[in-house]
């Protein structure tokens, strides 16, 4: 069974600093990988998606993630944090095919210090 | 384009009562998912529909949970009888099809079982 591990349930950075949220997956074959963001009392919004076309994926709001097969990682980064980035971030994996429900990590709460 | 609609947004019931949630996916989306998100955790897939057929319900507690998508459009998820541990946010998502397509999430229904 596939699984996702997000290191750090809470990450705190200063406004303007680099954001790095870590995600490792376990899968026997290259999966589809996703990062979602969730603001309080809202549903999940897709930030970006890896589908094997390119290892460096650019998403919305200045976020990007790099797929590293050798490390089974898909870490999310943003060069300069903004106060509006404060939210919960989830990494998820899907094997594609017919049954492609997402398996999510436990999430990382991103705190932005002024 | 209208997003995924869910109702009600909030529901409070006593244990052993029954409850139903409704989801209307984005028009034209063939695939519909129900996820359960317990506080402090990532969403967990309960069931996936492709049109009106069930693709994956391996994590659905079938002794108390049921779901249907009779006409291949909107869907209902029912819990009967509810337990305290069912307190969670129930998220509905839809996608154009299965196989790694982006899933669009609704705002969720927050269920509290007392």
Interface test with A, best of B41, B103, B108 (most A CBs within 10 A): B103
| Chain B residues inside the 8 Å CB shell of A102 | 33, 35, 43, 45, 103
> Average pLDDT for residues A38-62, to the nearest whole number?
89
> Average pLDDT for residues A17-22, to the nearest whole number?
98
Q: Where residue B100 falls among pLDDT bands split at 50, 70, 90?
A: confident
> Average pLDDT for residues B47-66, to the nearest whole number?
95
pLDDT higher than 70, residue B1: no
Residue bearing tokens 């997003």: B3
> Average pLDDT for residues A63-92, to the nearest whole number?
95
pLDDT higher than 90, residue A52: no
Strand ranges for chain B from DSSP E:
5-7, 10-13, 19-24, 31-37, 44-50, 53-56, 65-68, 75-79, 88-95, 104-105, 109-113
Asked whether B26 and B38 are in contact (CB, 8 A), the reply is no
Cross-chain residue pair A44–B41, CB shorter than 8 Å: no
Q: Which of A88, A59, A78, A107 minimizes the C-alpha distance to A17?
A: A78
């Amino acid at each position: 069974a596939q699984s996702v591990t997000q290191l750090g349930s809470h990450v705190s950075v200063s406004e303007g600093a680099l954001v790095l949220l870590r995600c490792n997956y376990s899968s026997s074959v290259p999966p589809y990988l996703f990062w979602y963001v969730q603001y309080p009392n809202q549903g999940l919004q897709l930030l970006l998606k890896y589908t094997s076309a390119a290892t460096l994926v650019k998403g919305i709001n200045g976020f990007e993630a790099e797929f590293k097969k050798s490390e089974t990682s898909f870490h999310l980064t943003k060069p300069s944090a903004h106060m509006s980035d404060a939210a919960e971030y989830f990494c998820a994996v899907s094997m594609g095919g017919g049954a492609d429900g997402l398996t999510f990590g436990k999430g990382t709460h991103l705190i932005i210090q002024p | 384009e209208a997003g995924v609609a869910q109702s009600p947004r909030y529901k409070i019931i006593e244990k052993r009562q029954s409850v139903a949630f409704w989801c209307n996916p984005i028009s034209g989306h063939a695939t519909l998912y129900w996820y359960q998100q317990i506080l402090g955790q990532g969403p967990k897939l309960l069931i996936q529909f492709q049109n009106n057929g069930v693709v994956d319900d391996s994590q659905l507690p079938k002794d108390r949970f049921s779901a249907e998508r009779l006409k291949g459009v909107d869907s209902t998820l029912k819990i009967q009888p509810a337990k305290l541990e069912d307190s969670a946010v129930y998220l509905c998502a839809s996608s154009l099809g299965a196989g790694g397509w982006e899933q669009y999430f609704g705002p969720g229904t927050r269920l509290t079982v007392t």
